[in-house]
Copies of this chain bind each other. A is one copy, B any other.
Amino acid sequence: MDLFSAIKDRRSCRNFSTEALEDTVIERILDAAVWAPSPLNMQPWQFTIISSEEKKEEVFQEAERCRKWAVEASGWKWLNNYTVDFLKAAPVIVLVVGDSKKTGVDMFQEEGSVGYQLACGAAIQNMLLAAHAMGLGSLWFTFFDKQEIRKIFDIPDDKTPVAMVCIGKTAKDPASVPRKSIKDKVTYC
């Protein structure tokens, strides 16, 4: 698939078919992920492939807990009707974990280390594009508490659960969401 088509036509999918994916499909998506750039090429990412019903249920429960908590914390009414059932439907959820020790010069800076997480963001974008190019739906999901996810997957405190990427065949075509005009986003100097 052409790069620009992949970028423009990718959508966030929240309706997955439960049909299983071949291991080679996931491997190709991860191979795309690791060709993202990272500070000093430290490749600060790790991937946990979640496909067992048991672990998906644990992720679902944490997302539901987080959603209910967030309804109170945010006052966002739409959250009352937001369901995270796609976490159980998607055949694969890839948990992307960043290593805070593998970051750039910001490890010495006042505002703290985020370079390793940004690199994970780039790797995730590659994953979403690769999934789309392979005819699959995907979702970048962050509705969880990092500390709870550390407990479920036995992740030490110096590593950060950055996001989960749900991947599977789409059960319903995702809607397009519009973008603001570039003109509103750019200044020149």
Contacts and interface: CB of A to CB of B under 8 A. Distances in A.
Contacts of A114: 114, 117
A188 B54 CA distance: 13
Interface in A72-129: 73-74, 104-111, 114-115, 117-122, 124-126, 128-129
B49 A142 contact: no
A83 to B, nearest CB: 15
A98 to B, nearest CB: 10
A145 interface: yes
Contact of A145 (B55, B109, B188): B109
A70 B39 contact: no
Nearest to A114: B117
Query: Which range contains the number of A residues in contact with the other chain?
Result: 35 or more
Nearest to A139: B37
A16 interface: no
A171 interface: no
Contacts of A50: 189
Contacts of A66: 105
Interface in A43-59: 43, 45-52, 55
A41 B179 CA distance: 8
Identify the interface centre among A30, A114, A118: most chain B CB within 10 Å of its CB: A118
A147 interface: yes
A55 B185 CA distance: 19
Contact of A35 (B10, B47, B140, B160): B10
Interface string A127-145: 0111001000000101101
B185 A45 contact: yes
